[in-house]
Chains A and B, each alone.
Chain A
Amino acid sequence: MAEQKKTITFIIERQDSPTSAPYTQEFEIPYRPALNVVASLMEIQKNPVTKDGKKVAPVTWECNCLEKVCGACMMVINGKARQACCALIDELEQPIRLAPARTFPVIRDLLIDRSVMFESLKRVQAWVEVDGTWEVKDAPIQNPYTATTAYEISHCMTCGCCLEACPNVGPQSDFIGASPSVQAYLFNLHPLGKFDKEKRLNALMGKGGITGCGNSQNCVEVCPKNIKLTTYLAQLNRDVNKQALKNIFNK
Chain B
Amino acid sequence: MINVSFYLRRLHSLCGLLLLGGVLVEHLLTNASAMGGPEVFNQGLAMMEMIPPPVFLGIEICLYAVPILFHGIYGIFIALDAKNNPGAYGYSRNWKFALQRYTAWYLVAFLIWHVGYLRIYLKGIMGEHISYALVQSVISNPIVFVLYALGMFAAIFHFCNGITTFCMTWGIAKGPRAQCVVDKIAMGLCALMCLLTLAFMFSYIA
Known contacts A217-B93, A217-B97, A218-B91; 5 additional CB pairs below 8 A are: A165-B85, A167-B97, A205-B6, A231-B176, A234-B179
Which among B42-50, B58-66, B167-175 touches the partner chain?
B167-175
Complex contact A215–B176 (CB within 8 A): no
Complex contact A80–B81 (CB within 8 A): no
- Chain A CB within 10 A, most for which of B6, B78, B97, B175: B6
A62→B2 CA distance, assembly (Å): 40
Task: Indicate whether B27 reaches chain A with its CB closer than 8 angstroms.
Answer: no
Task: Indicate whether A235 reaches chain B with its CB closer than 8 angstroms.
Answer: yes
Task: Indicate whether B82 reaches chain A with its CB closer than 8 angstroms.
Answer: yes
A residues 180-239 with Cβ under 8 Å of B? 202, 205-207, 209, 211-212, 214-218, 221-222, 228, 230-231, 233-239
Complex contact A165–B89 (CB within 8 A): yes
Q: How far is the CB of B94 from chain A (nearest CB, A)?
A: 5
Closest residue of chain B to A216 (Cβ to Cβ) is B97
Complex contact B6–A244 (CB within 8 A): yes
Complex contact B7–A244 (CB within 8 A): yes
How many interface residues does chain B have, given as a range?
35 or more
Q: How far is the CB of A234 from chain B (nearest CB, A)?
A: 4
- Total A residues in contact with B, Cβ cutoff 8 Å: 37
CB<8 Å pairs between A and B, sample of 17: A167-B82, A167-B94, A168-B81, A172-B80, A173-B82, A206-B3, A211-B5, A211-B6, A212-B81, A214-B165, A215-B168, A234-B171, A235-B174, A237-B171, A238-B171, A244-B3, A247-B3
A240→B44 CA distance, assembly (Å): 44
Interface class of chain A by DSSP: helix
Q: How far is the CB of A101 from chain B (nearest CB, A)?
A: 12
A236→B114 CA distance, assembly (Å): 39
Task: Indicate whether A79 reaches chain B with its CB closer than 8 angstroms.
Answer: yes
Complex contact A207–B7 (CB within 8 A): no
A174→B181 CA distance, assembly (Å): 31
A175→B6 CA distance, assembly (Å): 12
Complex contact A79–B88 (CB within 8 A): yes
Which are the 3 A-B pairs with shortest beta-carbon distances? A238-B171, A216-B97, A237-B171
Complex contact B168–A234 (CB within 8 A): yes
Closest residue of chain A to B6 (Cβ to Cβ) is A205
Task: Indicate whether B83 reaches chain A with its CB closer than 8 angstroms.
Answer: yes
A111→B194 CA distance, assembly (Å): 48
Q: Which residues of A contact B174 (CB under 8 A)?
A: 231, 234-235, 238
Complex contact A206–B89 (CB within 8 A): no
Q: Which residues of A contact B5 (CB under 8 A)?
A: 207, 211
Complex contact B10–A234 (CB within 8 A): no
Q: How far is the CB of B6 from chain A (nearest CB, A)?
A: 4
Task: Indicate whether A170 reaches chain B with its CB closer than 8 angstroms.
Answer: yes
Complex contact A202–B165 (CB within 8 A): no
Task: Indicate whether B98 reaches chain A with its CB closer than 8 angstroms.
Answer: yes
Complex contact B81–A217 (CB within 8 A): no
Q: How far is the CB of B140 from chain A (nearest CB, A)?
A: 39
Complex contact B89–A221 (CB within 8 A): yes
Complex contact A230–B6 (CB within 8 A): no
Q: How far is the CB of B184 from chain A (nearest CB, A)?
A: 15
Complex contact B89–A218 (CB within 8 A): yes
B residues 101-146 with Cβ under 8 Å of A? none
